[in-house]
Amino acid sequence: MGKELFESYPHLVRQADAVLGYSIEELCLEGPPELLADTRYTQCAMYTVGALSYVERVRESGVTPDFVAGHSLGEYVALFAAGAFDFVTGLELVTRRATLMAEAAPGGMTAVLGLTADQVRSVLERDDAPPVDVANLNAPEQTVLSGTADDLAAASVLLKDEAKAVFPLKVSGAFHGRHMASAATEFERFLAGYRFVRLRIPVISNATARPYEDDEIPDLLTRQLTSPVRWSDSVDFLLDQPEPEFHELGPGQVLTGLIGQIRAQRPVPAMATS
C-alpha cells in the first residue's frame, strides 16, 4: 500500500516518521498484519497514504475537486485536501484520535446487508434487543453496527433471519457509537489546542452529511466519534450536484462500490408531462 507514493514524496514520509516515531513505509509495505489491524496503526497508515494520494492526484491532473468527502478516518484526508490543516497537523490529530479510540472500551463492529437502516433499527428496538449502535450508514441496504462482542453476537442472532448477510468486521473497537464517549471527551480537549484554516473546498461531514462551516471543525470531528457515519446521505447530497463525477483516492475501491449501490437505488425522477 503506497509504495510508489513513498518513493515520490520522501520529504512527507520523513515528516510522518518524525511524528510517529517509526517508519510508515515499513509499516505499510511489510506489516506485520497484527499491527496493520490495530487501529493505532491502521489510521495513521490510511491517513498518510490517503493524503499522499491526494497530492499525487492534483499534481498529475492539475485539477482540484469541487467537493471532498471521506468515510470515517478518510474525513481527515478530505480536510487536509481542503486546507483545514497541513499534512503534519493532520497526522498529529489522527495519531491522537487512534490512540484514544484504541483505549476506549473493547468491542467490535458487524455489517448487516439486505435490510434498510430503518428495518435494522426496527429490530434493534425490540424488547429483547441488545444495546448496540448504528455506526455506519454505508448504502441503502448496508448498515454497520457497533457494540461489545456479546451484544453484537446477540444482535446478529436477531437479524440473521431477515438480512441477506450478517458478519463481523475486522476492526479493533466499537467505533462510532456510545463506547467512544470517553474518547470523544478527551479528543475534544485535544482539539482545543489547534486552530484550523478556512476551508478552500467544501468538505462533507460524516456527522451531518452536509458541508462543514469553517467554525464547525472541532465540534464535528468530536461528534464523528460517537455518531453514525452518514455515507449514504453524504453521497446523496453529492449526487444532487450538477453532473457529479466521483474519484476515489487511496488503496481499494470500496467507496466506489458503495457509491454505485447508492446511485442505483435512488428514486427515478418523475417524467414531466405537458
pLDDT score recorded for residue 22: 97
Q: What is the pLDDT of residues 137-148, one digit of tens each?
A: 999 999 999 999
Q: What are 251's three cell numbers?
A: 488503496
Which listed residue (8, 23, 72, 182) is catalytic?
A: 72
Whether residue 271 is predicted with pLDDT greater than 90 in this model: the reply is: no
Tell me if residue 176 is catalytic: yes
Q: What CATH number labels 108-168?
A: 3.30.70.250
Q: What is the pLDDT of residues 35-83, one digit of tens each?
A: 988 999 999 999 999 999 999 999 999 999 999 999 999 999 999 999 9
Q: What is the mean pLDDT of residues 117-138?
A: 97
Cis peptide before 267 (omega within 30 of 0): no
The rounded radius of gyration (Å) of the Cα atoms in the chain is 19
CA distance 239 to 219: 26
Q: What is the mean pLDDT of residues 125-141?
A: 97
CB 239 within 8 A of CB 265: no
From the list 172, 47, 29, the residue with the least C-alpha distance to 105 is 172
Tell me if residue 61 is catalytic: no
Homologous superfamily (CATH) for 3-104+177-239 = Malonyl-Coenzyme A Acyl Carrier Protein, domain 2 (3.40.366.10)
Domain boundaries along the sequence of the chain: 3-104+177-239, 108-168
Confidence of residue 89 (pLDDT cuts 50, 70, 90): very high
Confidence of residue 197 (pLDDT cuts 50, 70, 90): very high
Q: How many CA atoms lie within 13 A of 167 on its CB side?
A: 7
Is there a shared CATH topology between the 3-104+177-239 domain and the 108-168 domain?
Answer: no
Which listed residue (53, 146, 176, 179) is catalytic?
A: 176
pLDDT score recorded for residue 251: 83
